[in-house]
Amino acid sequence: MSSEFTVLREAWLALDAPSEEVREGARARLFEEIASEESEQRLGRTSDQQVRQGGFRRRSRLALVVVLGLLLVLIWATLTLAFGWHVIFGGTPKVPHNSAIYKDFDSLDVGAPAGMASGVIPNETRRVATYDGIPLWVAPTRAGGYCSMMAGSGGCDREGTVPLNVTYMSSGAPVGGGTPEADLGYLRELHGAVNPRWSGAVEVRFGDGTAVRPQIVWISKPISQGFFYVPIGDDHRRAGHRLQKVVALDADGNVVAEDSSMSQGQQPSDRPPAGAVVDKAEQVASIETPDGKAVLWRAPSRFDSSCTWLALAGRVYGGECSFSGYPSTARVVLVRRGNELLLVSGVGFTSSGLLTLGFADGQQLRLTADGEGDLLRSLPAALRTSGMPTTFSAVDVGGRKLPFVVEAAG
Amino acid sequence: MEGLTPASGQYPSDAAAIALSLNEPAAFAAVFERHFPLVHRFLCARAGVDPAADLASETFAIAFRRRADYDLGRPDARPWLIGIAVNLARQARRSERRLNRALARLAGERTLPQESPEARLEPRGNITTLREVLAELSQDDRDLLLLFACLEFSYEQIAETMSLPIGTVRSRINRLRGKLRGRLTGAAGEAGV
């Protein structure tokens, strides 16, 4: 022992040994324990049993922990298999500011028209999944939605209220270069997001009757979306086997939203938009056409908004649902029959807004929306064969231009 | 209780006595007889003379109940017993503090003045030095110092007792050595050692 501690050791040794009284008290206390255990032995429990039971208790506890652990893993695996992978968004690292993806998101709103900015928060960009070695990047928006990007393509749901959002990635030919069906021959993969408020699964349906249910990566708040990715194999690029639609399903397997824009383009459908609560649909307007009665319908949607569609001769034109938080954009639907233009419908204009269609032969058609901003007109016979309108414009009652989109089907 | 007190030298090691006590509980008395003075003395230095008797008694009662957990590969039970004693002393200290705070609240005072365990050591000769030195140390350093300087535990035994890595024990002892060098050599001179 070094000299530093010698003094302490000596002081220690100088401490009084326990008195006999103290020692006897402690001994009695210990012997109470011993006697108690021996008494139990006499009642049939041997010490060995106790030790074994002690060991058993420890082993039981260990087994319980293991069983609970396995149970949690099983529950997690079941949930994952049934509902997809779950990722805590805040638990994944943010991308550095000097990364390319940060800069992509940071520049997303540069020059965006008023009201069209995504409000993305690039500082919160995170990689939430990797598919075939390609990372899926997600960032929240200030309004409670998200923007996503994968291999340079993606999109935003600024408000977080869109039920199904699909991005298609093709190679070999530009999408839109041919017919929709032909374009699908170049589809390589698709990815997107589904909103867990309304959907628990996604199904990708093909023309040959096959379907794929991709695993969904559910991302926690503030994203609150499920992301999916589906590679399209050669088999599904052949004619007759190509993509038909992507549908979002609720817990009962009902289609609550669908995206068939790639396969159908603006072609009519045989049913109202998936999100519409058809039982509560109301007629907005109706007209007689050479093909029968055309009815413009409006119904509430499952998505806290409304849906509109035009029904004519058992077909549905221009079916669309709006989404909560987004400003509604007026839409014009032109219905053709061969080379004839049968009718024009419009929704979402301001009250008494004026829509003007110009034709190649110089004729013009002026249509005034009703008090609700809707319109439905059949074309005068003189204009039916004038071909498709070549110019479109819309103004409100004050003469201010109104934005709108045009869709032609038939 | 007769017949329950085998001589402490009856068993070649603590581990042997503990192993036998698994079938014959009375065999554990040999461990008590062998180590009670050491444990009591440790607790006197660590917690004070008054609480030491109860704490030492409780140490052996706990050790008896937990003997099935004892690593029979370790022949010397002192680190295990002192480890139990250290924990009991710490619990007692916390309880004492809580009681003092509660009393202070009842009395409308901020805190009752606490008499440190070291202050309760009898101020006789070098014991005064021991008391003063311990009073200057943190709780952990106090335990380390007692185990190393007074009980003369090896680094390995201290590591086992304190549940610390042996490297940590070495570095702390070295730090303590440097810290106390001037303090104790001075005291030794004054005490004529």
* CB-CB contact of A307 with A353 (8 Å): no
Chain B partners within 8 Å of A30 (Cβ) = 28-29, 32, 57, 60-61, 64
Q: What are phi and psi of A243, to 5 degrees?
A: -55, 135
**Cα A28 from Cα A34, distance rounded (Å):** 10
- SS3 state of residue A407: strand
**Cα A305 from Cα A292, distance rounded (Å):** 30
- Whether omega for the bond prior to residue A222 falls within 30 degrees of 0, making it cis, is yes
Element (H, E) at A303: none
Q: What is the mean pLDDT of residues A78-102?
A: 75
* CB-CB contact of B36 with B58 (8 Å): no
**Does residue A351 belong to the interface with chain B, where contact is any CB pair within 8 Å?**
no
Beta strands in A225-273 (DSSP E): 225-231, 243-249, 255-259
Question: Which neighbouring-strand residues pair with A141?
Answer: A120
Does the structure show a pLDDT above 60 at B119?
no
Model pLDDT, residue A376: 95
Model pLDDT, residue A64: 77
Higher pLDDT, A14 or B10: A14
Model pLDDT, residue B95: 62
Q: What is the mean pLDDT of residues B154-178?
A: 87
Cβ burial of A118 (10 Å; 0-12, 13-18, 19+) is buried
Average pLDDT value for chain A? 84
Does the structure show a pLDDT above 80 at A62?
no
Does the structure show a pLDDT above 90 at A356?
yes
Does the structure show a pLDDT above 50 at B158?
yes
Does the structure show a pLDDT above 50 at B127?
yes
Model pLDDT, residue A307: 93
**Cα B167 from Cα B176, distance rounded (Å):** 14
Residue A231 per-residue DSSP state: E
AA identity, residue A410: G
Does the structure show a pLDDT above 90 at A137?
yes
- Judged by CB atoms closer than 8 Å, whether chains meet at A23 and B24 is answered as no
**Cα A296 from Cα A194, distance rounded (Å):** 29
Q: How far apart are the first and last CA of chain A?
A: 102
Model pLDDT, residue B98: 61
Instruction: Give exposure, A157-190, as e/b (b: 16+ Cβ within 10 Å).
Output: bbbbbbbbbbbbbbeeeeeeeeebbebbbbbebb
- The confidence band for B51, taking pLDDT boundaries of 50, 70 and 90, is confident
Which of B38, B127, B190 best probes binding to A when mutated, by most A CB atoms within 10 angstroms?
B127
* CB-CB contact of A140 with A146 (8 Å): yes
- The confidence band for A346, taking pLDDT boundaries of 50, 70 and 90, is very high
A274 CB-near residues (< 8 Å, 6+ apart): A247, A255, A256, A257, A258
Question: Which neighbouring-strand residues pair with A186?
Answer: none
- SS3 state of residue A45: coil
Within 13 A of A53's CA, how many CA atoms are on the CB side? 6
pTM: 0.54
Asked which of A231-235, B127-131, B177-181 is least confident by mean pLDDT, the reply is B127-131
AA identity, residue B11: Y
**Does residue A14 belong to the interface with chain B, where contact is any CB pair within 8 Å?**
yes
| Dihedral of alpha carbons B40, B43, B45, B47, sign | negative
Which of A13, A34, A51 best probes binding to B when mutated, by most B CB atoms within 10 angstroms?
A34
- The confidence band for A255, taking pLDDT boundaries of 50, 70 and 90, is very high
Minimal Cβ distance to B150: which of A12, A35, A37: A12
**Does residue A110 belong to the interface with chain B, where contact is any CB pair within 8 Å?**
no
Q: What are phi and psi of A16, to 5 degrees?
A: -65, 140
Q: What is the mean pLDDT of residues B132-158?
A: 83
Instruction: Give exposure, A272-294, as e/b (b: 16+ Cβ within 10 Å).
Output: bbbbbeeeebeebbeeebebeeb
Higher pLDDT, B153 or A62: B153
Asked which of A48-57, A333-342, B108-117 is least confident by mean pLDDT, the reply is B108-117
Does the structure show a pLDDT above 60 at A402?
yes
**Cα B35 from Cα B43, distance rounded (Å):** 12
* CA distance readout (Å), A4 to B17, B103, B132, B134, B137: 36, 40, 15, 14, 15
**Cα A357 from Cα A391, distance rounded (Å):** 6
- Judged by CB atoms closer than 8 Å, whether chains meet at B60 and A30 is answered as yes
Higher pLDDT, B155 or B193: B155
Joined tokens for residue B168: 């940590």
CA A58 to chain B, closest CA, distance in angstroms equals: 10
Chain B partners within 8 Å of A55 (Cβ) = 68
* CB-CB contact of A345 with A310 (8 Å): yes
**Does residue A142 belong to the interface with chain B, where contact is any CB pair within 8 Å?**
no
- Judged by CB atoms closer than 8 Å, whether chains meet at B60 and A26 is answered as yes
Q: What is the mean pLDDT of residues B81-100?
A: 78
Instruction: Give exposure, A50-88, as e/b (b: 16+ Cβ within 10 Å).
Output: bbeebeeeeeeeeeeeeeeeeeeeeeeeeeeeebbbebe
- Judged by CB atoms closer than 8 Å, whether chains meet at A38 and B64 is answered as no
- Judged by CB atoms closer than 8 Å, whether chains meet at A8 and B149 is answered as yes
- The confidence band for A3, taking pLDDT boundaries of 50, 70 and 90, is low
Average pLDDT value for chain B? 75
Model pLDDT, residue A53: 53
Model pLDDT, residue B189: 43
ipTM surpasses 0.85: no
State pLDDT tens for residues A13-56: 777 788 888 888 888 888 888 888 877 776 654 444 444 455 55
Using alpha carbons only, give the angle A278, A280, A286 rounded to the nearest 5 degrees: 80
**Cα A20 from Cα B2, distance rounded (Å):** 17
Q: What is the mean pLDDT of residues A239-249?
A: 92
Length of chain A: 410
Contacts 24+ apart (CB under 8 A), B105-114: none
